[in-house]
Chains A and B, each alone.
Chain A
């Protein structure tokens, strides 16, 4: 893995390099743009996002705390050839993950073959025994997958993680595009940029396509934990775009193993639930009895095959960080293909040999909790202080099975509008893969950018921003 930082506009030579072909047209436009006009457009964007209420709730702030995710007005541009490769790789990977989930909850061939140690799956809290033997429509488990990708060089991609539970962020992909088209319509006539606006249509098509067998005109609803959830804006946005009901647990009830909504015209049957609630909170009778968010009896209806949940219950077993290392093997095992996308080399600290290496090289590595997410509970070796590293060392020695380690990747940078002007900042990419009757991806995704100079942490909860992501027409 190269340690040189790849800039997506100027290549491997960093800020001294020539502008790459796919950025040229944009760069010409940008150079001709007076700086004060750019500043004015940036303010305009901020005012508009506030007015439209495109915010995310922040836990722990004063009641109803709402905050904007910073939007960067400089788009990220991906050439068509790179995208084609990426798309093939993503489809391949998500197909393999769906095969894996079906296998784990049925014959468990991959465990019998000894490719993955059985205990690692069956003793994992993310493995859901009540899914064992249950058939789901089309054998699809992960209907919506958000795969986090980083670029390290031209055509060089690594998968950071596969998010198969309730990945969020797609509303920002759509709103960012809408905002950029509104601010700079002329850009979209200069270049052929592939559209992303049809995402809600194909999401709805995907969801309707996985209705229980025999349902002719399925009713789909989006289940949200409610207004205090950080992604609530996205839930309302998607429900509105798809024209489906946005329901909370209290709006649904189960009678004779079927799920109904409480409506002003009486009970209405629901066939597919796009749920944005974690497994644990879905049904107080099956999972956490203290959950007020779920629907009592939902799992009973699910197991009876009278309602489809998207994503299925139990997908967490496939995106657990301890399972990540096995995804290339899954691709070979289920599809008999070579993996197109690379995994980041990963040390599993439960293995003595790996552990010794990692403890000797902590300043160079990133250590992550196996069950962690959102950029919390991780150690970025090069950025950490000696005492933080010492603390992590103790934690690793105390319970090594809880951690994995990876080299610090040289994440690519993109030109970004910051206080000091336009400067390169590190980015990642989350494309959204939809699986149902077929596997589809809208060309693009959510680009997250670390606004702090040199920072590699792009999470919105930790000061990251977002960009519009352009995939150019071939």
Chain B
């Protein structure tokens, strides 16, 4: 298939997944902001809850160029509605629809109609509306539209190369986001050092699990109290948890194996390397290195994988 087509489809699903993940990230932030926290002092690299989405998406300076104070409404405006922020939910849904519009021939009409309807509804919303209805309802709506689109894709699309690139985009974006959301806790300060392992700490980890839809899974797997060690194991190493890094890499590796031919092995090789490490890693190794450092290393590798996928499939330069 045309590289441009693959590129559009890959980004169509990434943008939808990104909209969903941004909603999840804001959701956890919202929950954290309801718990007690310590306000940061000048010069500290930690963040209070509403700065967390800005820190982990790397958009803090862009935010502060427009807003001089930090509060829920401003951050929501910026992360949900701001059209100049390329990762806002508004921008993500718009781009997903644009990517799909150019590739009507490679997708199904039900996929198009689902994306188009999502975009048409998003266009009618503003902060006042979602605030009045409850922001959690809005986050649920975004997640549901993403679930719907994934379901329509799964239920209607021919299992061809186009399908592979759509799935590839979904899992790469999801892996990236799970890593970033896991890192949220690193940036969030407890009210004081004495709170480590206390009630607030527990609620913060619990919110994080909920935002990834894995709270119940945690309970089923461990039947025990929530500890950072187990959360790391659950969301990084367990391949039966659908948003875990290991589960995402299983799919990514498998898709790339299917797409690879003799001269295009590099993305597959790199994915295999990342996958193998997740497959054979001991939970203790992660915590010896430090969860934050581990996640940063993972994001670097995903970045390198993206570059290879671009070079070999999406934007090859032959001339």
Complex: A240 Cα to B103 Cα, angstroms: 10
**A246 partner residues in chain B, CB cutoff 8 A:** 105
Complex: A264 Cα to B4 Cα, angstroms: 9
B145 touches A (CB below 8 Å)? no
- Contact assessment for B101 and A253 in the assembled complex, using a CB-CB cutoff below 8 Å: no
- Contact assessment for B101 and A262 in the assembled complex, using a CB-CB cutoff below 8 Å: no
Contact residue among A53, A250, A260, A263 (Cβ-Cβ distance under 8 Å from B1):
A263
- Contact assessment for B104 and A236 in the assembled complex, using a CB-CB cutoff below 8 Å: yes
B3 touches A (CB below 8 Å)? yes
Complex: A227 Cα to B314 Cα, angstroms: 19
**B104 partner residues in chain A, CB cutoff 8 A:** 53, 236, 240
- Contact assessment for A247 and B2 in the assembled complex, using a CB-CB cutoff below 8 Å: yes
Beyond A51-B113, A245-B2, whether A264 also contacts B105 by CB under 8 A is: no
* Known interface pairs A227-B102, A240-B104, A262-B318; 20 further A-B residue pairs with C-beta atoms within 8 A, sorted by A's residue number: A51-B113, A53-B112, A236-B104, A245-B1, A245-B2, A246-B105, A247-B2, A250-B4, A251-B4, A253-B318, A255-B319, A260-B318, A262-B4, A263-B1, A264-B2, A264-B3, A264-B259, A265-B1, A266-B263, A266-B316
Beyond A239-B105, A253-B319, whether A262 also contacts B2 by CB under 8 A is: yes
Name the residue on B nearest A221 (C-beta). B2
**B165 partner residues in chain A, CB cutoff 8 A:** 264
Complex: A263 Cα to B259 Cα, angstroms: 12
Complex: A28 Cα to B101 Cα, angstroms: 43
Q: Which 3 A-B pairs rank lowest in CB-CB distance, beginning with the nearest?
A: A240-B105, A262-B3, A253-B319
CB within 8 Å of B: which residues of A? 51-53, 227, 236, 239-240, 245-248, 250-251, 253-255, 260-267
Contact residue among B105, B109, B318 (Cβ-Cβ distance under 8 Å from A52):
B109
B6 touches A (CB below 8 Å)? yes
Name the residue on A nearest B3 (C-beta). A262
**A265 partner residues in chain B, CB cutoff 8 A:** 1, 261, 264
Distance to closest chain B CB from A451 (angstroms): 28
Name the residue on A nearest B261 (C-beta). A265
**A263 partner residues in chain B, CB cutoff 8 A:** 1-3
Complex: A233 Cα to B109 Cα, angstroms: 14
B161 touches A (CB below 8 Å)? yes
- Contact assessment for B2 and A261 in the assembled complex, using a CB-CB cutoff below 8 Å: yes
Chosen A-B contacts, 16 in total, with CB atoms closer than 8 Å, are A53-B104, A227-B102, A236-B104, A240-B105, A245-B2, A246-B105, A248-B4, A250-B4, A255-B318, A255-B319, A262-B3, A263-B1, A264-B2, A264-B3, A264-B161, A266-B261
Interface residues of B in 36-68 (CB under 8 A from A): none
Distance to closest chain B CB from A260 (angstroms): 7
- Contact assessment for A264 and B6 in the assembled complex, using a CB-CB cutoff below 8 Å: yes
Interface residues of B in 262-280 (CB under 8 A from A): 263-264
**B261 partner residues in chain A, CB cutoff 8 A:** 265-266
Name the residue on A nearest B7 (C-beta). A264
- Contact assessment for A267 and B318 in the assembled complex, using a CB-CB cutoff below 8 Å: yes
Name the residue on A nearest B318 (C-beta). A267
B313 touches A (CB below 8 Å)? yes
**B4 partner residues in chain A, CB cutoff 8 A:** 248, 250-251, 262
Name the residue on B nearest A226 (C-beta). B102
**A266 partner residues in chain B, CB cutoff 8 A:** 261, 263-264, 316
Distance to closest chain A CB from B33 (angstroms): 36
Complex: A251 Cα to B315 Cα, angstroms: 10
Binary A-proximity of B245-287 (CB < 8 A = 1, otherwise 0): 0000000000000010101100000000000000000000000
**B101 partner residues in chain A, CB cutoff 8 A:** 227
Name the residue on B nearest A240 (C-beta). B105
Complex: A255 Cα to B105 Cα, angstroms: 28
Beyond A251-B2, A266-B263, whether A236 also contacts B318 by CB under 8 A is: no
**A262 partner residues in chain B, CB cutoff 8 A:** 2-4, 316, 318
Interface residues of B in 83-126 (CB under 8 A from A): 101-102, 104-105, 109, 112-113, 116
Distance to closest chain A CB from B112 (angstroms): 7
**A264 partner residues in chain B, CB cutoff 8 A:** 1-3, 6, 161, 165, 259, 313-314
Complex: A251 Cα to B113 Cα, angstroms: 27
Distance to closest chain B CB from A221 (angstroms): 9
Tell me which of A253, A255, A260, A266 has the highest count of chain B C-beta atoms within 10 A of its own C-beta.
A266
Complex: A254 Cα to B319 Cα, angstroms: 8
Distance to closest chain B CB from A405 (angstroms): 43
Distance to closest chain A CB from B157 (angstroms): 15
**A51 partner residues in chain B, CB cutoff 8 A:** 113
**B2 partner residues in chain A, CB cutoff 8 A:** 245, 247, 251, 261-264
Distance to closest chain A CB from B197 (angstroms): 50
Interface residues of B in 119-167 (CB under 8 A from A): 161, 165
**B112 partner residues in chain A, CB cutoff 8 A:** 53
**A247 partner residues in chain B, CB cutoff 8 A:** 2
Complex: A85 Cα to B1 Cα, angstroms: 44
**B109 partner residues in chain A, CB cutoff 8 A:** 52
Distance to closest chain B CB from A253 (angstroms): 5
**A254 partner residues in chain B, CB cutoff 8 A:** 319
Complex: A262 Cα to B310 Cα, angstroms: 13
**A227 partner residues in chain B, CB cutoff 8 A:** 101-102
Complex: A255 Cα to B316 Cα, angstroms: 15
Tell me which of A239, A247, A250, A263 has the highest count of chain B C-beta atoms within 10 A of its own C-beta.
A263
Name the residue on A nearest B1 (C-beta). A264
Name the residue on B nearest A52 (C-beta). B109
**B316 partner residues in chain A, CB cutoff 8 A:** 262, 266
Complex: A227 Cα to B101 Cα, angstroms: 8
**A251 partner residues in chain B, CB cutoff 8 A:** 2-4
Tell me which of B101, B165, B263 has the highest count of chain A C-beta atoms within 10 A of its own C-beta.
B101
**B264 partner residues in chain A, CB cutoff 8 A:** 265-266
Complex: A265 Cα to B112 Cα, angstroms: 26
